[in-house]
A = this chain, B = another copy of it.
Amino acid sequence: MNIGQASQASGVSTKMIRYYEQIGLIPKADRRDSGYRDYSPSDVHMLCFIRRARDLGFAVSEINDLLGLWRDKSRHSADVMRIAKAHIERLQERARSLEAMAATLGTLVACCHGDDRPDCPILADLEEPSLIDWSGLKPSSEGALRRQP
């Protein structure tokens, strides 16, 4: 199976398949005499696993852990559950952070008449806060979205 077919079957782009190979997330693919990568059904299986984990927002490093457990037939399901639960926590925290941003901005929008006049509470408050208490929001915006350092 060519990389393009593996891509179609798994929903992972060819660029990403090569990238995952390069960073060692997946083992080096077999090569044909031509140099073309050759994928087996079980390789595609693994790519599907990866794609679904990505769809759930797992980082590649976390998927690496999950793949290890996936391959380890003597794994403890508790280990998987721990990773999953921790990930749920992070997802929810990021969602909360986004909602807080939206709510804050909503407050400003509610105060803006939104017409032809130049007077605008949104800009005014960004300039010099009077409506909004920024103390709870400080963690620098997408900082709550970026992985913490």
Contact = CB atoms under 8 A, between A and B. Distances in A.
A28 interface: no
Interface stretch (A17-25, A33-41, A107-115): A107-115
For A80, A82, A115, the residue with the greatest tally of chain B CB atoms inside 10 Å of its CB is A80
A57 B98 contact: yes
In the complex, the count of this chain's copies comes to 2
A141 B60 CA distance: 11
Q: How large is the interface on A (under 10, 10 to 19, 20 to 34, 35 or more residues)?
A: 35 or more
Interface string A102-128: 101110110011111111101100110
Contacts of A134: 52, 55
A1 interface: no
23 contacts: A52-B134, A55-B101, A55-B137, A56-B104, A57-B101, A69-B120, A70-B127, A73-B118, A75-B123, A76-B117, A77-B114, A77-B117, A77-B119, A78-B115, A80-B123, A81-B112, A84-B109, A84-B122, A88-B102, A91-B98, A91-B99, A92-B99, A95-B96
